[in-house]
Amino acid sequence: MKKVVLVVMDGIGYSEKTEGNAVAVARTPNLDWLMENASYTYLKAHGEAVGLPSDEDMGNSEVGHNAMGCGQIYSQGAKLVNEKIESKEVFQSKAWNELVENCVKNNSYIHFIGLLSDGNVHSNISHLFSLLEQSKKEQIKGARVHILLDGRDVPATSALTYVDLLENKISKLRSNEFDCAIASGGGRMKITMDRYNANWNMVKLGYDLHVKGEGRGFTSATEAITTYRKEKVGIVDQDLPGFVIINDNNEPIGKIKDGDSVILFNFRGDRAIEISRALTEEVFCEFDRGVLPNIMFAGMLQYDGDKHIPERFLVEPPKIKNTLSEILVKNNIRQYAISETQKYGHVTYFWNGNKLDKFDDKLETFCEIPSDKVSFDERPWMKSAEITDEMIKVICSDEYDFIRCNYPNGDMVGHTGSFDATVIGVEAVDLAIGRLLQVIDEKGYCLLITADHGNADEMFEKNKKGELQPRTAHSLNKVPFIIYGIDAIVKKGEFGLSNIASTVTQILGIKPHSSWDESVIL
């Protein structure tokens, strides 16, 4: 048995290309040394290897940490919802029928809130289209769509492409019997989609737009987006301010009112929990909502199974069991997990199979370092130093057998589209690893280093004119898996993130669960 430290370099993938590759451009003497002196391989971190529909689908932090922490592959997010929509099961669910009956009984509207893109990370526009089509078939009075603009999992300024697609779909569905329109919207990093209780004001801004119709008014989403782009030159979609669509009398056309049904069509949980709480909880203290309308709410999935958020949902989430943490607890292995706020939930909630609570309070310790509330390109080092300070203390304490951490820099700074800032972010992670190496050697730990997906490794892409422009989405590249501190022979073959769990237990001297994918090393 040997104690293990696992470092997840969030968003730091591998690519042989150097153009737009912040990882290749960054000065990384510690990672370079490890690649020369340690065993390593490259793991798939996207598509079918993490339970997504196809290998054209980029990986993300949620499914990446699920795969690492669960040791096996589950149908995830888009794939899961695709299956239920294609089979029409979603429209036979109890939740869907309750939402429809509520609208028919009250002669009210059905509202859809969610990320408007086909990024397949938080949502897919095709799911929204299917829900709108079925709403018309159900003879509901009408629908209102509250759009959250992406520019993060898709090209940075592609919002109008998706708005056009939605407007075309609406124009085909709209009739005297079915009143359909976009009602409000804004950038995903400005309104509604906060996570881990980092910035509840984002949720309040979204709530006020969607529910109260309070915000800057425009006659259309296209007008709102084009106006903001003229006023704020260089702004990307995720940072666009909120807006409300108004009629000729300057009144909002789609406030959420008593008797309405509301569906949050995002399938990913982390950025869906807070707005779900704001729209459903009777006792709510995060911000002043005013009078909560009497609505019927459902999520695409249940985003937190332990706390039943929300209680009503359209698609059953994957039932994840026999996770790495669970097996380690059964073997009396002491665990420690740490990151800053932006990725804290990934090394805890997602790692443990979408389980918010611990398997054992005595054997598991979680530590959250509060993130800065600024744009990440302004402080690309983020909290890497503070995370490393705590990691060194924990390693030196000899209290834990398995220690894991996440450095968010490559992903969170990479999403800003700032190449120079991302280079600094990658260098900050390398500096942190260099500090860890000293105590790893002193204490005799095994160090594993990997990433949950790529991002910083592919920062540019060509537009329709063939011109290079910032790329803010994840890449489809493999990620490194470095094994240091033991004499390890890496097996030949194709491996993915789900192979990490068996590798960890092998080093710890524990038998892996029979359902897991095999270890990477002999």
Higher-confidence position of 449 and 152: 449
- pLDDT-based confidence at residue 57 (cuts at 50, 70, 90): confident
Q: Are strands 460-462 and 468-470 parallel, antiparallel or unpaired?
A: antiparallel
Residue 334 has pLDDT above 90, yes or no: yes
Whole-angstrom Cα distance, residue 151 to residue 389? 34
What does the pLDDT look like over 81-135, one tens digit per residue? 998 999 999 999 999 999 999 999 999 999 999 999 999 889 999 999 999 999 9
Please provide the size of the chain in residues.
522
Topology of the domain comprising 78-315: 3.40.1450
The pLDDT score that the predictor gives to residue 258 is 98
Q: Is residue 228 scored above 70 in pLDDT?
A: yes
- Residue 146's H or E segment, with its range, is strand 142-149
Q: What is the pTM of this model?
A: 0.72
Question: By C-alpha distance, which of 75, 79, 130, 92 is closest to 265?
Answer: 130
User: Is the pLDDT assigned to residue 324 strictly greater than 70?
Assistant: yes
CATH 3.40.1450.10 domain range(s) in the chain: 78-315
Specify the domain boundaries for CATH 3.40.720.10 within the chain.
4-72+319-508
pLDDT bracket for residue 305 (50, 70, 90): low
Q: Give CATH for domain 4-72+319-508.
A: 3.40.720.10
| Average pLDDT of span 149-160 | 95
Residue with tokens 């710890």: 508
Given a cut of 80, whether residue 488 has pLDDT beyond it is yes
pLDDT at position 196? 76
Question: Whole-number mean pLDDT of the chain?
Answer: 95
Cα-based distances in Å from 36 to 25, 353, 452, 492: 18, 34, 22, 19
Over the stretch 1-45, which tens digit does the pLDDT of each residue have? 899 999 999 999 999 999 999 999 999 999 999 999 999 999 999
Cα gap 118→129, rounded to integer Å: 12
**Residue 126 has what pLDDT?**
96
Mean pLDDT, range 430-441, rounded to an integer: 98
Instruction: List the one residue out of 360, 437, 407, 403 whose CA is nearest residue 507.
Output: 403
**pLDDT at position 117, please?**
97
Weakest mean pLDDT among 136-150, 151-165, 236-250, 315-329: 315-329
Beta-bridge partners for 407: 9
For residues 46-65, give the mean pLDDT: 88
Catalytic residue from among 15, 39, 54, 61 = 61
Distance in angstroms (rounded) separating the CA atoms of residues 462 and 470: 9
| Of 270, 191, 183, residue with least CA distance to 218 | 183
In the chain, how long is the greatest CA-to-CA distance? 75
4-13, 215-224, 289-298, 472-481: least confidently modelled range: 472-481
d(CA 145, CA 185): 9
**Per-residue pLDDT at 19:** 92
CA 460 to chain centre: 21
The alpha helices in 188-272, defined as continuous H runs, are 200-207, 221-231
Q: What is the pLDDT of residue 181?
A: 98
Radius of gyration of the chain (CA): 23
With H, G, I as helix, E, B as strand and everything else as coil, classify residue 22: helix
- Predicted confidence at residue 269, as pLDDT, reads 82
Mean pLDDT within 228-256: 97
Query: Residues with Cβ < 8 Å from 428, sequence gap 6 or more?
Result: 380, 381, 382, 384, 385, 407, 409
Rounded Cα distance, 405 and 388, in Å: 9
Q: Give me the pLDDT at residue 464, please.
A: 64
Q: What is the mean pLDDT of residues 57-70?
A: 91
Cβ atoms of 336 and 400 closer than 8 Å: yes
Over residues 364-396, the pLDDT tens digits come to 999 999 999 899 999 999 999 999 999 999 999
pLDDT, average across residues 281-288: 96
pLDDT of res. 459: 94
**At 222, is the secondary structure helix, strand, or coil?**
helix
* Antiparallel, parallel or unpaired: β 479-484 and 446-450: antiparallel
Query: Is 61 designated active site?
Result: yes
Which of 24, 39, 27, 4 lies closest to 495 in space, CA to CA?
Answer: 39
Q: Which residue has the higher pLDDT, 100 or 355?
A: 100
